[in-house]
């Protein structure tokens, strides 16, 4: 279903398990995972601090795109994970994950954008690491987009502190709604 820190404020949501992930029952442990882990490290995020999952929980045969019925079937599990982990920040990796919280627009236009999604949560759209591995221009954009995360994490911490005082602080001031 996913893996990582259950007490985290930040959740990454990819597409679906690939060959390695299927074998090991852990998300993002293949080449894309290595690229993702490196991008996190470059902005000071240790992978052990975050939770990582996918929109579909079973490997689509031959790595094909998830089908609409598969996305629908897995949606309640993803909703359950979000409700249980209750992250402040959801980072969507790739267009299938982006579509859940950004129903309109292409990833080439939306990547790097932040959106308030209710419950004191934001979603941030990012390219899929596999797409970044295929396209050097997207790799540059992918790493650039990651640079907004430390600021959002800092804001999320302040939002938690405000909540403890009974106040509300919006995490993303430049958010699109
Ligand atoms: N690609 C994904 O979308 N998810 C994984 O877990 C691995 C590769």
Give tens-digit pLDDT for 2-13: 999 999 999 999
User: Per the confidence metrics, is the pTM higher than 0.85?
Assistant: yes
Residue 156 confidence (pLDDT) above 60: yes
Residue 177 confidence (pLDDT) above 80: no
Given ligand 1 and candidates 2, 11, 21, 22, which is best to mutate, with the most ligand atoms within 8 Å of its CB? Answer: 21
Q: How many CB atoms lie within 10 A of CB 70?
A: 17
Ligand 1 pocket residue status of 32, Cβ below 6 Å: yes
Ligand 1 pocket residue status of 15, Cβ below 6 Å: yes
Average pLDDT taken over every residue of the chain = 95
Q: Whose CA is nearest to atom 3 of ligand 1?
A: 15
Alpha helices in the chain (DSSP H): 19-24, 31-42, 68-85, 95-101, 107-110, 129-134, 136-146, 149-164
Residue 173 confidence (pLDDT) above 80: no
User: Closest Cα to residue 146, out of 38, 7, 6?
Assistant: 38
**pLDDT given for residue 100 in this prediction:** 98
CA 134 to chain centre: 19
Residue 174 confidence (pLDDT) above 70: no
> Please, which pLDDT band fits residue 172 given cuts at 50, 70 and 90?
confident
């Amino acid at each position: 279903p996913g893996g990582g820190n259950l007490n985290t404020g930040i959740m990454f949501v990819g597409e679906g398990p690939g060959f390695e992930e299927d074998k090991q029952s852990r998300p993002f442990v293949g080449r894309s995972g290595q690229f993702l882990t490196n991008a996190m490290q470059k902005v000071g995020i240790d992978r052990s601090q975050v939770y990582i999952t996918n929109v579909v929980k079973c490997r689509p045969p031959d790595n094909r795109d998830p089908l609409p019925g598969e996305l629908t079937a897995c949606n309640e599990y993803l909703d359950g994970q979000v409700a249980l982990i209750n992250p402040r920040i959801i980072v969507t990796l790739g267009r299938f994950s982006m579509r859940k919280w950004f129903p309109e627009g292409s990833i080439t236009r939306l990547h790097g954008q932040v959106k308030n999604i209710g419950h004191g949560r934001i979603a941030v759209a990012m390219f899929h690491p596999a797409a970044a591995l295929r396209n050097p221009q997207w790799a540059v954009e992918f790493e650039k987009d990651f640079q907004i995360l430390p600021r959002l994490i800092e804001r999320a911490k302040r939002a938690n502190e405000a909540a403890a005082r009974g106040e509300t602080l919006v995490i993303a001031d430049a958010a699109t709604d």
